[in-house]
């Protein structure tokens, strides 16, 4: 599993008090059988007292108490921690980095994009915003606008603390600061559907030793027994707020029409995952597609022995037109993919890591033309984000 597919690394950013730790705890408490590696700046900020029990954290947790991750001079320190978590022995499925409240997320993205470990890949930047403190945060930290402009997904947290009119105003402000099409998810107490960021796997192993999920569940049960407010990680099921649409096609998809569909995807479509069959000469691999917000990445790989050539996609969003999305995907089908010219794949290859493209200037149609240099304030195109 992880020996074949690189591990996505999701950056969880936001200013102090925005609710990053609460959101992380929610992800850990609703992860199913998914093995999550966590990198945090301050171990003490994880509000699970039982974590101090020997053996509970092990090698799946890395603590950086000496400063922001983005303060590493050349990124080698973070690289070393990621290399450790990505070791096959840990069988990690996803890594979540909880950045310091004063971190520069853009620099963290650059560090991850520059990481040369083939076992990991950048999985998107999630910016957490405190709805109740939004205006004060912008006034005290003008860099808020820049952080929002590079986010792949924005979580507007603590929506229960503002009235509907105020929430609508804040959402409008955020939309004006973000790149066009950047999804905005509303949440209270950090409760978002983990499926927006990673796949939850079923439990397949005996819980002989307490896990993060066990610890959080026990803490929530204890709070309920003590007369708490009942807002534990499993209450108010977040998944009820989202819709999931599946699409399957035994017919190849046109790379140009599919990229056009992705470029025009609605803001409410938070995540796309699955595999695509293009069938273009020279590009007959299975293309894994992964999108979180506006972040997009394709990864070519071999088909399994006897595996049927087909496209299988899952689209997760809120307020989206499911039947309309399926109609648009139906329109992407290509009857004669073998007649498509190699350059029709250029739009797809732009979102494939150079190492996966196997760039060879002598190979006809092997890679798209070089893009213009990215603006200084935007992540380089190689990170999989639209320029």
Once rounded to an integer, what is the mean pLDDT over residues 174-194? Answer: 90
Share of the chain above pLDDT 90, in %: 34
Q: What was the pLDDT predicted at 126?
A: 94
**How sure is the predictor about 187, in pLDDT bands with cuts at 50, 70 and 90?**
very high
Q: What was the pLDDT predicted at 35?
A: 85
Is a pLDDT exceeding 70 seen at residue 2? no
CA angle 131–132–137, rounded 5-degree value = 80
* Rg of the chain, C-alpha, whole Å: 21
**How sure is the predictor about 204, in pLDDT bands with cuts at 50, 70 and 90?**
low
* Strongest mean pLDDT among 179-183, 191-195, 330-334: 330-334
3-class secondary structure, 96: strand
pLDDT digits (tens, 9 = 90+) for 155-168: 999 999 999 999 99
Once rounded to an integer, what is the mean pLDDT over residues 241-262? Answer: 91
Once rounded to an integer, what is the mean pLDDT over residues 333-346? Answer: 94
Is a pLDDT exceeding 90 seen at residue 262? yes
Once rounded to an integer, what is the mean pLDDT over residues 217-235? Answer: 47
Q: What was the pLDDT predicted at 202?
A: 61
- Mean model confidence pLDDT for the chain: 76
Q: What was the pLDDT predicted at 386?
A: 37
Q: Nearest-CA neighbor of 10 among 145, 155, 135?
A: 155
Element (H or E) spanning 175, and its range? helix 164-177
Q: What was the pLDDT predicted at 275?
A: 93
Dihedral sign for Cα 167, 128, 191, 220, please: negative
Question: Which residue has 């290399």 as its token pair?
Answer: 83
Q: 334 exposed, middle or buried (CB, 10 Å; 0-12, 13-18, 19+)?
A: buried
**How sure is the predictor about 293, in pLDDT bands with cuts at 50, 70 and 90?**
confident
Q: How far is CA 272 from CA 134, 152, 217, 268, 316, in A?
A: 29, 13, 29, 12, 6
Q: How many CA atoms lie within 13 A of 78 on its CB side?
A: 31
Question: Which residue has 């690289």 as its token pair?
Answer: 79
Task: Determine the number of helices (DSSP H) and then strands (DSSP E) in the chain.
Answer: 11, 12
Q: In what order do the strands lie in the sheet with 7-13?
A: 61-63, 36-40, 94-98, 7-13, 120-130, 153-157, 184-186
Residue 362: CB atoms within 10 A of its CB come to 5
Once rounded to an integer, what is the mean pLDDT over residues 21-25? Answer: 85
pLDDT digits (tens, 9 = 90+) for 294-303: 788 899 999 9
């Amino acid at each position: 599993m992880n020996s074949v597919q690189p591990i996505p690394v999701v950056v969880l950013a936001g200013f102090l008090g925005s609710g990053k730790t609460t959101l992380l705890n929610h992800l850990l408490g609703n992860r199913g059988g998914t093995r999550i590696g966590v990198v945090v700046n301050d171990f003490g900020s994880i509000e699970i007292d039982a974590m101090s029990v020997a053996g509970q954290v092990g090698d799946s947790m890395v603590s950086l108490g000496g400063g922001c991750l983005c303060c590493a001079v050349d990124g080698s320190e973070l690289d070393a921690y990621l290399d450790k978590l990505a070791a096959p022995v840990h069988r990690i499925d996803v890594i979540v980095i909880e950045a310091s409240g004063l971190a520069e997320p853009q620099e963290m993205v650059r560090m991850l994009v520059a990481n040369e470990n083939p076992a990991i890949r950048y999985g998107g930047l999630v910016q957490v915003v405190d709805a109740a403190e939004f205006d004060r945060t912008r006034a005290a930290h003008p860099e808020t606008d820049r952080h929002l402009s590079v986010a792949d997904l924005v979580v507007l947290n603590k929506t229960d603390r503002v009235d509907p009119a105020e929430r609508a105003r804040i959402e409008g402000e955020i939309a004006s600061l973000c790149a066009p099409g950047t999804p905005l998810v509303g949440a209270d107490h950090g409760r978002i559907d983990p499926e927006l960021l990673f796949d939850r796997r079923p439990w397949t192993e005996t819980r002989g030793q307490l896990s993060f999920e066990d610890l959080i569940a026990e803490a929530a049960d204890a709070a309920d027994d003590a007369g708490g407010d009942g807002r534990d990680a499993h209450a108010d099921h977040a998944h009820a707020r989202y819709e999931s649409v599946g699409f399957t096609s035994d017919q190849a998809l046109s790379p140009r029409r599919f990229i056009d569909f992705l470029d025009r995807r609605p803001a409410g479509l938070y995540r796309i995952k699955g595999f695509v069959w293009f069938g273009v000469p020279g590009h007959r691999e299975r293309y894994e597609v992964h999108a979180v917000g506006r972040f997009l990445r394709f990864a070519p790989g071999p088909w399994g022995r006897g595996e049927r050539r087909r496209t299988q996609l899952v689209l997760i969003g809120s307020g989206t037109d499911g039947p309309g999305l399926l109609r648009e995907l139906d329109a992407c089908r290509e009857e004669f993919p073998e007649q498509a010219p190699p350059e029709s794949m250029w739009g797809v290859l732009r979102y494939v890591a150079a190492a996966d493209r196997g760039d060879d200037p002598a190979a006809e149609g092997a890679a798209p033309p070089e893009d213009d240099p990215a603006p200084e304030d935007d992540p380089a195109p190689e990170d999989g984000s639209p320029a």
